[in-house]
Amino acid sequence: MSADPRFVRLEQSLRALGGCLVAYSGGVDSTFLLAVAHRALGVRAAAATVRTPFLERAEIDDAHRRAVAIGVAHEIVDVDLAGAPEVLANPPDRCYHCKSLVFAALRRRADELGLPALLDATHADDLRERRPGVRALRELGVLSPLAAAGLGKADIRALSTELGLEGADRPSSPCLATRVPYGEPITPERLRRISGAEHVLRALGFEGTRVRDYGDLARIEVRPADFERAAAWPLRRGIVEPLRDLGYRYVTLDLAGYRSGSMDEVLPASEHNPTAE
């Protein structure tokens, strides 16, 4: 395996825990963390995926399949957000409130399983971005061993390839709530509309795309390399018509292209300080 000293430190730190529950989304980062935890701890490493309306069913199914392929016990933990107005009202610190609920539920499950540590897959690059949810992790004593080892996204992709993990190069897929402007309520109808619109774009071959929902207006972010194809006729009609059927009156292409956290661009500079998370 890799001679990268950060990988060696990561494996050693996991082995020292004696047991862990990994908060498992099925994405590249948590899949890598789970695989290394399994190498280090064997059956004392388990995985749990939290089911909320913000996560698509297909992603939960994929997470289960990947955990089983790694050889780890995996379960679903339901968290009901319907009674969480501080989340559904969608304030700028929504992620903090959501993760407080999610990781409190995972902490209870870890305790029930007799696993001393609860882990999440926050990595070093995440700590340089606006991540309000990190504060919730700290308050609940959740460990982020990838960040502690100094591993960033590119490192994780490279090491995942070395481990032979499936989908090491697949794009990130944050929760659907990140597509709704702050201060606008998150509703089941809105989430279904966003999910349907992004499914349309993925079916047309647009990877790493986002549909930001402004009520009757959809702001589509695609990679700059995909601009010409997205705007060309007749494919353009294949985007516009299905999105109108979903309820969008206006369908726009953001010429700045896809970028993570574009909803944060409207926040004051003071909100962008990672150390304030």
* Residues 186, 135 within the same domain: no
Q: Is residue 199 part of a domain?
A: yes
End position of a domain, from candidates 119, 135, 163: 163
* Residues 202, 248 within the same domain: yes
How many folded domains does the chain comprise? 2
**What are residue 175's phi and psi, to 5 degrees?**
-65, 155
- Note the pLDDT tens digit of each residue in 234-269: 999 999 999 999 999 999 999 999 988 888 887 875
Q: Is residue 211 part of a domain?
A: yes
Between 235-245 and 188-203, two packed helices, what is the crossing angle to 10 degrees? Answer: 160
User: Which pTM was predicted?
Assistant: 0.92
CATH number at residue 253: 3.30.70
Range of the domain at 207: 176-259
Q: What is the mean pLDDT of residues 65-82?
A: 95
- Note the pLDDT tens digit of each residue in 91-120: 999 999 999 999 999 999 999 999 999 999
Nearest to 212 by CA among 166, 259, 179: 179
Between 5-15 and 28-41, two packed helices, what is the crossing angle to 10 degrees? Answer: 60
* Residues 149, 180 within the same domain: no
End position of a domain, from candidates 140, 163, 186: 163
Q: Is residue 191 part of a domain?
A: yes
Q: Look-up: residue for tokens 């996560």? A: 55
What distance in Å separates the CA atoms of residue 14 and residue 12, rounded to the nearest whole number? 5
Computed over its alpha carbons, how large is the radius of gyration of the chain? 19
What pLDDT does 265 receive?
Answer: 86
